[in-house]
Amino acid sequence: MNCSSPGPEVDLFSKHELYTRALRATDYKDVCQIYLATFPSMDDDDYSAAWLNRCETSSTVLLQRSFSTADKPLGEPKLIGFGLVSQSPATTAAAAEKKLWFLAVAADHRSGGSGSRLLKAIMATSPSLCLAPVNDEKIIAWYQKNGFEIVQRYPFVHEDIPTCLMARVCAEDSEATSRQSTLTCSEVYSLESTPCSSRKESLGSWDSDFN
């Protein structure tokens, strides 16, 4: 048994920096891993549609960069969260509206305001934004805390089906415009589920089509 002194401990990961940027096609695999670990399989079709129809100027990823005690970068930045936003075509009645379909942060990074930071980055690119949160009062309250309001309620059908529509509208927009907002299949969850191999294979096969 070696009883020699190990010497002073050095914390190689003494500093972490979070930052956001626009989602890229090359982020697909990292985004997919977080999606699989967060959302149930019933959302796979919606996820594929959200990726195909994503708004490139508003869909955003959250990354973490690590530094040594000497402030030297340690490896490549790690993608730890994403938000998929789509944009519907503009009509004569109203400008194009953006919809947040999915927002997720990796399970080991969900404390410390990571989700709020990601959401605020998306909001900065989308003055008018709507979403249908999972049927969970804590999640709904979180969005309210971050500047969203309930603009429409739906009857309860299933615990995984949203019961309200929320919107964040810029100050110059009228209340009537926000009340007219519609959402087709936007669900935002903070639930965890165990990904199965068949889902990984299925989602992986979309990669070439989605770039």
> Which of 113, 94, 120, 88 has the alpha carbon at shortest distance from 186?
88
Range of the domain at 36: 15-191
Any domain includes 1: no
For 137-164, write each residue's pLDDT tens digit.
Answer: 999 999 999 999 999 999 998 887 889 9
Higher pLDDT, 91 or 148: 148
User: What's the CATH code of the domain at 133?
Assistant: 3.40.630.30
Structure confidence at residue 87 (pLDDT)? 81
**Cα 146 to the chain's mean position, in Å?**
14
Beta bridge partners of 85: 100
**pLDDT at residue 83 above 80?**
yes
Higher pLDDT, 193 or 162: 162
Q: How far is CA 153 from CA 124, 135, 156, 161, in A?
A: 26, 11, 9, 12
> What confidence category does residue 169 fall into, taking pLDDT thresholds of 50, 70 and 90?
low
Any domain includes 196: no
For 6-57, write each residue's pLDDT tens digit.
Answer: 433 444 446 889 999 999 999 999 999 999 999 989 899 999 999 999 999 9
Any domain includes 211: no
- Total domains in the chain come to 1
Q: How far apart are the first and last CA of the chain?
A: 54
**pLDDT at residue 73 above 90?**
no
Higher pLDDT, 204 or 74: 74
- Is the C-alpha dihedral spanning 75, 210, 44, 168 positive or negative? positive
Place of tokens 């199965």: 196
> Which token pair is 171?
């100050």
Any domain includes 201: no
What pTM does this model have?
0.74
% of the chain beyond a pLDDT of 90 = 53
* Residue 61 backbone zone (phi > 0: left; psi -120 to 50: alpha; other: beta): beta
Interacting residues of 121 by C-beta distance below 8 A, sequence separation 6+: 20, 60, 62, 83
Residue 37's CB is within 10 A of a number of other CB atoms, namely 14
